[in-house]
Amino acid sequence: MMRSILGLFLLLQAPSFVVPQPQDQRASIEGVVLRIGTDEPIAGAELKLTRVASASDAAPSPSQPMAVIGIPMLPSTQTDRSGRFVFKDVDAGSYRISAASNGYAKLEYGQRVSRGTGTVVSVVNGQAIKDIVFRLTPAGSVSGNVRDASGEPLTGFQVLLLRSAYNPTGRRSFQAAGSARTDDRGAYRFYWVTPGRYYLSAGRGNRPYENSGFHNPNEVDAKPYPTTYYPGTPDPAEAQAVELLPGEERNGIEFVLPQQQMYRIRGKVVDSTTGKPPSNTEIRMTPRRSIGPLNGPTNNANYNPVNGTFEFRAVAPGSYRIFVTTTPELDAAIAPNAAPRTLAELVDVLFSSRPTAEAAVEVSASDVENLILTLSPGILIPGRLRVDGQELSAIDGFENIHIMLESAGAGEHMQLPRPMAPDGTFSLDNVPPGEYRLRINYPQPNIYVREALLNSVDVLHQPLVVSNTPPGTLEITLSSKASQVDGNVLNEQSQPIAGIQAVLIPDRFRDRFSSYKTAVTDPNGHFVFRSVAPGEYKIFAWEAIEEFAYFDPDFLTSYEDRGKPVSISESSKQTVDVNIIPAR
């Protein structure tokens, strides 16, 4: 008995030996960075691995916090002398990989165009990926001088390197890709510039890109000049593009800025409800054809709340729009009977219900004086939505149908989407005068917008014009007979290609960008367009295209004969094969 007890005691005192459980080995990713064209290895290139959302990332368990998406998940690594790199101990998931080196254009793995995105790389535990190859393109430079009409150098001027781009709603704008300041010789230089097509502008204080920091006390500020686009025009539509090739040094891009008389715009703001100047205002001035940055004051033009006067100084001759609204007083008390009950009502109280005023101004040979801007509430547009052949409430998810207006003017109409009423009635509140595009969002795949009328005028295919006169009812008709188009994108060997964006573009009313549809081919090269309205279309599939470039009419014209024609009737389902448009 004692022997048994002693044995048990010794067993309990012995060290514990835990059999190790098998652990899933993490993944690794390795590859090489080369110079395009020569395949010379690039040593010292920086590689970054960034986690992106995947199916598992998008729906973490309640007990597991969501991982941060879109930031590097591992320390960056560098290539060795042979241009090789390796990421070790990579968790299972989906990633983007980027490579960068001084003197070269930064590149994502699988990226086909300079402003495109790359290919997502997915790994599982224990996987070793060894065939990642980057071929970096040598960057270029752009340099030149800025002078006045007499040939004198202009010092301290901001020169912007600009790209022409479209946003998801089809609006074109210039986006700054670089900023430089002219030196005492009027010279500027952009280095390590990604090859591509650029525009340039020069002027004093290209807000919001103006350089800050030390100011030379011996430098005298130059006289104000209007924004001038290369080679010397104030009109951005007449700006001349500069094509930069890989490794190219574009020297001698000379600006000649004509000296122009600058003027002032003075006026007064009055609140129509009180007859007095508002205490808090937001005043903006934009050129009527603005697609680029504006030199000079654009906001809160020296506003005096005591008497409501404002002044814009150093304004170049041209056509402008001045937009004014009140800023919300967040500390002001809200009457109990007006207290918002929902988020949409809170936005209405603070933002959407603000009075506005807008004026078109021509500046030519003199100052503009005594401009009166009277703040008043916008127009209320009542509306009714119906569906052919059935009750709106019979559609699953009908409350998620949203009616919105997109403004093309200086002022932006802001209204939070509200649930659709079962009887289809809705209202667009506080809409300032101007031109708008109607946007109708509906989640149902079998629905399309058949008609939209305001005072018997078609506002589906042309702008909706709002004046100070209350309009009639906006009548919108949906149809549940939408069509579907699917198919495959094929390469030159008639093989399906994954990861290619297919774009469905109507033959008519191409300025109604909401009718464009896009789909990315799946691993089998297959795409699907749903909620397609009847009509004539073309399907395009570019191997490489900058984001939203298909909104550019000139770009589209050059590929018109490469599109796949397709004729759509109601409630139809069609399958087509589309040949890829090779990258140029």
* Banded model confidence at residue 511, pLDDT cuts 50, 70, 90: confident
Give the Cα-Cα-Cα angle 58, 519, 538 (nearest 5 degrees): 170
Within a domain: 1: no
* Banded model confidence at residue 57, pLDDT cuts 50, 70, 90: very low
* Banded model confidence at residue 368, pLDDT cuts 50, 70, 90: very high
Q: Is 72 helix (H, G, I), strand (E, B) or coil?
A: strand
Work out the average pLDDT over 308-312.
93
Please tell me the distance from the alpha carbon of residue 36 to that of residue 111, in angstroms, as a whole number: 14
Within a domain: 584: no
pLDDT at 210: 47
Within a domain: 233: yes
- Whether the per-residue pLDDT at 575 is higher than 50: the answer is yes
Asked if residues 403 and 382 have their Cβ atoms less than 8 Å apart, the reply is no
Lateral strand order in the sheet of 464-466? 402-407, 434-441, 464-466
Question: Which of the listed residues 375, 409, 427 is the one where a domain comes to its end?
Answer: 375
Work out the average pLDDT over 542-553.
87
Nearest partner of 165 among 156, 152, 174, judged by Cα: 174
Q: What is the 3-state secondary structure (H, E, C) of 512-549?
A: CHHHCEEEECCCCCEEEEEEECCEEEEEEEECCCCCCH
Tens digit of each residue's pLDDT (9 = 90 or more) over 92-107: 988 999 999 999 999 9
- The CATH code of the domain that includes 119 is 2.60.40.1120
- The CATH code of the domain that includes 313 is 2.60.40.10
Mean pLDDT of the chain: 83
Within a domain: 11: no
* Banded model confidence at residue 9, pLDDT cuts 50, 70, 90: very low
pTM as predicted: 0.73
Tokens of 246: 């890989």
pLDDT at 11: 42
Nearest partner of 158 among 92, 226, 106, judged by Cα: 226
Work out the average pLDDT over 117-136.
91
Work out the average pLDDT over 121-126.
92
- CA torsion, points 463, 468, 473, 476, in degrees to nearest 10? 20
- Whether the per-residue pLDDT at 441 is higher than 90: the answer is no
The range of the structural domain enclosing residue 235 comes to 141-257
- Look at 230-234, 506-510, 569-573 and tell me which has the smallest mean pLDDT: 230-234
Please tell me the distance from the alpha carbon of residue 353 to that of residue 361, in angstroms, as a whole number: 25
Looking at the fold, whether 546 and 468 belong to one and the same domain comes out as no
- C-alpha distance across the termini of the chain, in Å: 91
Place of tokens 């002001």: 332
Nearest partner of 579 among 520, 480, 500, judged by Cα: 500
Looking at the fold, whether 151 and 245 belong to one and the same domain comes out as yes
Please tell me the distance from the alpha carbon of residue 190 to that of residue 182, in angstroms, as a whole number: 11
- Whether the per-residue pLDDT at 529 is higher than 90: the answer is yes
Looking at the fold, whether 159 and 71 belong to one and the same domain comes out as no
Within a domain: 357: yes
> Environment class of residue 491 by beta-carbon count within 10 Å: exposed (0-12), middle (13-18) or buried (19+)?
middle
pLDDT at 288: 74
pLDDT at 350: 53
Question: Which of the listed residues 208, 240, 257 is the one where a domain comes to its end?
Answer: 257
Looking at the fold, whether 313 and 399 belong to one and the same domain comes out as no
Structural domains in the chain (count): 5
- Whether the per-residue pLDDT at 341 is higher than 60: the answer is no
Tens digit of each residue's pLDDT (9 = 90 or more) over 58-67: 333 333 333 3
pLDDT at 289: 64
Within a domain: 146: yes
Looking at the fold, whether 61 and 167 belong to one and the same domain comes out as no
pLDDT at 95: 92
* 8-state DSSP, 24: P
Per-state percent for the chain, helix, strand, coil, to nearest 5: 10, 45, 50
Asked if residues 246 and 141 have their Cβ atoms less than 8 Å apart, the reply is no
Tens digit of each residue's pLDDT (9 = 90 or more) over 229-263: 999 888 888 889 999 999 999 999 998 888 778 89
Within a domain: 2: no
Please tell me the distance from the alpha carbon of residue 373 to that of residue 279, in angstroms, as a whole number: 14
Question: Which of the listed residues 346, 375, 404 is the one where a domain comes to its end?
Answer: 375
Looking at the fold, whether 387 and 462 belong to one and the same domain comes out as yes
Tokens of 98: 């980027």
Tens digit of each residue's pLDDT (9 = 90 or more) over 145-185: 999 888 999 998 899 999 988 877 777 788 899 999 999 99
- CA torsion, points 533, 534, 537, 540, in degrees to nearest 10? 40
Is the bond into 231 cis (omega within 30 degrees of 0)?
Answer: yes
* Banded model confidence at residue 308, pLDDT cuts 50, 70, 90: very high
pLDDT at 99: 97
Within a domain: 366: yes
Asked if residues 520 and 177 have their Cβ atoms less than 8 Å apart, the reply is no
- Count CB atoms within 10 A of the CB of residue 212: 5
- Whether the per-residue pLDDT at 377 is higher than 70: the answer is yes
- Which of residues 354 and 279 earns the better pLDDT score? 279
CB burial string 473-486: b at 16+ within 10 A, e below:
ebbbebbbbbbbbe
- CA torsion, points 119, 124, 127, 128, in degrees to nearest 10? 30
Place of tokens 């503009």: 368
pLDDT at 349: 54
Asked if residues 200 and 230 have their Cβ atoms less than 8 Å apart, the reply is yes
Tens digit of each residue's pLDDT (9 = 90 or more) over 181-225: 999 999 999 999 999 999 999 987 544 444 445 667 888 777 777
Looking at the fold, whether 186 and 92 belong to one and the same domain comes out as no
* Banded model confidence at residue 143, pLDDT cuts 50, 70, 90: very high
- Whether the per-residue pLDDT at 535 is higher than 50: the answer is yes
Tens digit of each residue's pLDDT (9 = 90 or more) over 461-498: 999 998 888 889 999 999 999 999 999 999 999 999 98
Looking at the fold, whether 330 and 410 belong to one and the same domain comes out as no
Nearest partner of 379 among 282, 457, 474, 471, judged by Cα: 471
Looking at the fold, whether 364 and 299 belong to one and the same domain comes out as yes
* Banded model confidence at residue 18, pLDDT cuts 50, 70, 90: very low
Looking at the fold, whether 332 and 288 belong to one and the same domain comes out as yes
Place of tokens 């100052």: 367
Lateral strand order in the sheet of 425-431? 425-431, 379-387, 474-479, 448-454, 457-458
Please tell me the distance from the alpha carbon of residue 172 to that of residue 554, in angstroms, as a whole number: 13
Please tell me the distance from the alpha carbon of residue 405 to that of residue 563, in angstroms, as a whole number: 31
Tens digit of each residue's pLDDT (9 = 90 or more) over 381-436: 999 999 998 899 888 889 889 998 887 654 455 566 778 999 999 998 888 888 88
pLDDT at 20: 46
Looking at the fold, whether 398 and 369 belong to one and the same domain comes out as no
Please tell me the distance from the alpha carbon of residue 407 to that of residue 429, in angstroms, as a whole number: 14
Is the bond into 208 cis (omega within 30 degrees of 0)?
Answer: yes
Asked if residues 226 and 205 have their Cβ atoms less than 8 Å apart, the reply is no
Looking at the fold, whether 519 and 541 belong to one and the same domain comes out as yes
Which element (helix H / strand E) includes 56?
Answer: helix 55-58
Please tell me the distance from the alpha carbon of residue 109 to that of residue 118, in angstroms, as a whole number: 5
In sequence order, what E strands does 230-300 have?
Answer: 242-244, 249-250, 255-257, 263-271, 281-287
